[in-house]
Amino acid sequence: MAQQNGMVEKRGAGLWLTHLGLIIGVAFIFFPIWLAFVASTVEQQQIARPPMPLLPGDKLFENYARALSAGVNAPVAQMLGNSLVMALGIALGKIAISLLSAFAIVYFRFPGRKLFFWLIFLTLMLPVEVRIVPTYEVIANFGMLNSYQGLILPLIASATATFLFRQFFMTVPDELAEAARVDGAGPMRFFFDILLPMSRTNIAALFVILFIYGWNQYLWPLLITTDPDMNTIVMGIKQMFPSGDDTADWPVIMATSILAMIPPVLVVVGMQKLFIRGLVESEK
Amino acid sequence: MATVTLKNLRKSFGKTEVIHGVDIDIQDGEFIVIVGPSGCGKSTLLRMVAGLETVTSGEVGIDGRVVNDVEPMERDIAMVFQNYALYPHMSVFDNMAYGLKIGKTPKSEIETRVAQAAKMLQLEPYLARKPRELSGGQRQRVAMGRAIVRKPAVFLFDEPLSNLDAKLRVQMRLEIKALQRELGVTSLYVTHDQVEAMTLADRMIVMNGGVADQIGAPLDVYADPQTAFVAGFIGSPPTNFIEPALIGQTGAAQIGIRPEHMQITQSGQVEGSVAYAEALGAETLVHLRLAQGQMITVRQDASHPIPQEGDTVALEWAAQSLMRFDQAGKRLAD
């Protein structure tokens, strides 16, 4: 009994300590973002002259409007749009393709099934950076430089997502497929009516991860988009940095950084509900 | 409504043959139970009728039509699975209606049929629920509802009650029997539970290692088992097998006698000592050790005195209750 009381007390103190630790950690991580936000609301001179202000200034609308409409090389609105197309294209494309390939691998017996699975699995070991030169060659030959297809297609195949869906499909009881067969559902009907709705929490989770993956692509867009109108936001920020003796327009750059963060945050927050529902309810 | 015919039905997985030729003609409206221990091929047999397994050789006929290469859906059958196989993201209504929707049944017709089935199975209050919000028994009913709304020619049940607790199993067993009587649909029912087999079947197929050892009405199978396996499998507690020499018999490899066909007396054909006695209330199972160390179970009415453990008692039986089997386990004529 005494020990139990002790444990409760300890937990009380531990609770405060835990919170303190978390608050310090959050403050630590959040501070640079706060600084970026502050920098995006003040004038260039205030940033250049130390000490840097820690409270937001009054140029919020002005700076953001300037960034969105003009930017440095290309309007940020344009780059946001490009990034959005690319991230959505990659996320949805990857999900569609990996769902179908996982479906094929798990539910169909075709010659070389194992081989294909292992081939897909092998590509896990080849990240974009490793195969970037041949990929560039292929895309260039297809004439896809400076195009959305060029941005999206090479990144669409996903061994990770295929593997995840394969694992999920293998936990779906065989009887379900058999029941659907007895009910008269063909393979695609089974896929759309039963497998797809059952995977929706997995799809939501993957969508979040893949959207952020697509949004944060840096190297690939840097290589294949030379036209500023096709720049994506993440690489666009880097492009804004001055080369040589030009002065950097820091408020606009910081405003761009803050803007670049918003869509992934919205996706995470928006999908949170589906996540949690996926965790709480077991579907099988 | 239909007849089902199996003609020398065989199934091999790779080089291993698991069903060694089963023949049966099932009458329209008959309730056939396929019973046997695990691994005897009973589920495979059912799945071949369903069209979920291919037929290696032989014929499956439904209503006079050979359906070996016909898709499950086209066979006009409905199947109830052991783990129910309900679609987890669909409501009870949608689960039952799914097959009809695929079959392009008009919406009003779907609603009437589902409503009818729901009423029959007392599922009306649950139509909007998801399967996970139902109890095991209710899920089982939904699975049956899904089969009923199709109005199939044949019902196939694959151990439908084995995931339920004992009490519910008894209740659902009665419901299935009543339902099948009411609908008059030809049914094949797979189980490893001999009580289900005895109570449900019009005729039963006792499977052993891929062979139909015996096909017949439950009481005939009980009273007149054709093989030692059937004698041992049907009946609880199982038939005792005794060395013929022990009781002065010749010409048989083994002798079977059911526990309920023996009486404990002061002087009888054979003596043994009571190892232990299980009093179950209405009856008592007395386990005896014979002189040679062989164990024998005797089932006696509660009206008989329960013998003390360690007592030496004698057993007697009527000569016609002995079952004689040859070396291969085949029943010999008396």
Residue A183 near chain B (CB below 8 Å)? yes
Note whether A82 and A31 are same-domain residues: no
Mean pLDDT of A238-260: 81
User: CB distance B89–A283 less than 8 Å?
Assistant: yes
* Same domain, yes or no: A22 and A156: no
A71 falls within a domain? no
Global pTM reads 0.80
Please state, for a pLDDT cut of 70, what percent of chain A lies above it. Answer: 91
Question: What are chain B's domains?
Answer: 4-232 (3.40.50.300), 241-325 (2.40.50.140)
pLDDT of amino acid A159: 84
**Beta pairing partners, B113:** none
Look at residue A278 in the predicted model and tell me its pLDDT: 59
B residues 253-312 closer than 8 Å to A (CB): none
- Residue B14: helix, strand or coil by DSSP? coil
Same domain, A33 and A172: no
For A12-33, the pLDDT digits (tens) are: 788 889 999 999 999 999 999 9
With contacts defined as CB-CB under 8 Å, which chain B residues touch A281? 132
CB-based contact, A9 to chain B, within 8 Å: no
Q: What is the pLDDT of residue A284?
A: 41
Task: Please give the pLDDT value at position A3.
Answer: 47
In angstroms, the Cα distances linking B60 to A175, B5, B27, B81 are 22, 6, 14, 20
A29 and A162 housed in the same domain:
no
Backbone angles phi, psi at B297, to 5 degrees: -110, 135
| pLDDT of A280 over the 70 cut | no
Residues A28 and A56 in one domain: yes
Q: What domain range is A30 assigned to?
A: 2-65
Q: Are residues A149 and A228 in the same domain?
A: yes
The number of folded domains in chain A is 2
Identify whether residues A155 and A52 lie together within a single domain: no
Per-residue b or e along A186-202, where b marks 16 or more CB atoms closer than 10 Å to that residue's CB: eeeebbebbbeebbebb
Residue B107: strand pairing partners: none
Question: Residue A184 and residue B82: Cβ atoms within 8 Å?
Answer: no
SS3 label, residue A265: helix
Q: Which of A183, A281, A282 shows the shortest C-beta gap to B98?
A: A183
Sign of CA dihedral B315, B316, B322, B325: positive
Average pLDDT, chain A: 84
Q: Strand order in B65-66's β-sheet?
A: B16-26, B4-13, B57-62, B65-66
Tens of pLDDT, residue by residue, chain B (334 residues): 689 999 999 999 989 999 999 999 999 999 999 999 998 999 999 999 999 999 999 999 999 899 999 999 889 999 999 988 999 999 999 999 999 999 899 999 999 999 999 998 889 999 999 999 999 889 999 999 999 998 999 999 999 998 888 888 898 899 899 989 999 999 999 999 999 999 999 999 999 999 999 999 999 999 999 999 999 999 888 999 988 888 878 888 889 999 999 988 888 888 889 999 999 989 999 999 988 888 999 999 988 888 888 888 888 888 888 899 998 889 988 7
ipTM of this predicted structure = 0.84
Put simply, whether A171 touches B (Cβ < 8 Å) is no
% pLDDT > 90, chain A: 29
B79 vs A185: CB contact, 8 Å cut-off?
no
A63 or A179, higher pLDDT: A179
Task: State mean pLDDT over A241-249.
Answer: 72
| A138 lies in the same domain as A260 | yes
Identify the three-state secondary structure at position B305.
Answer: coil
Check whether residue A261 and residue A135 sit in a common domain: yes
Q: Evaluate whether residue A70 is within a structural domain.
A: no
pLDDT class of A49 with cuts at 50, 70, 90: confident
Do residue A12 and residue A88 come from a single domain? no
Strand-pair category, B77-80 with B312-317: unpaired
pLDDT tens track for A70-105: 766 778 888 899 999 999 999 999 999 999 999 999
Cβ within 8 Å, pair A184-B103: yes
CATH of the domain at A82: 1.10.3720.10
Partner residue opposite A181 with nearest CB, options B72, B88, B103? B72
The predicted structure's pLDDT at residue A1: 43
Q: Do A198 and B89 touch (CB under 8 A)?
A: yes
How remote is the C-alpha of B119 from its chain's centroid?
28
Pairs across A and B, CB distance < 8 A: 64
Residue B55: per-residue pLDDT:
93
Is residue A160 domain-resident?
yes
| Domain endpoint, select from A65, A84, A112 | A65
The whole-number pLDDT of residue A11 equals 67
pLDDT at A2: 45
Contact between chains at A182 and B77 (C-beta distance less than 8 A): yes
Q: Is B113's Cβ below 8 Å from some Cβ in A? A: no
pLDDT in the model for residue A61: 84
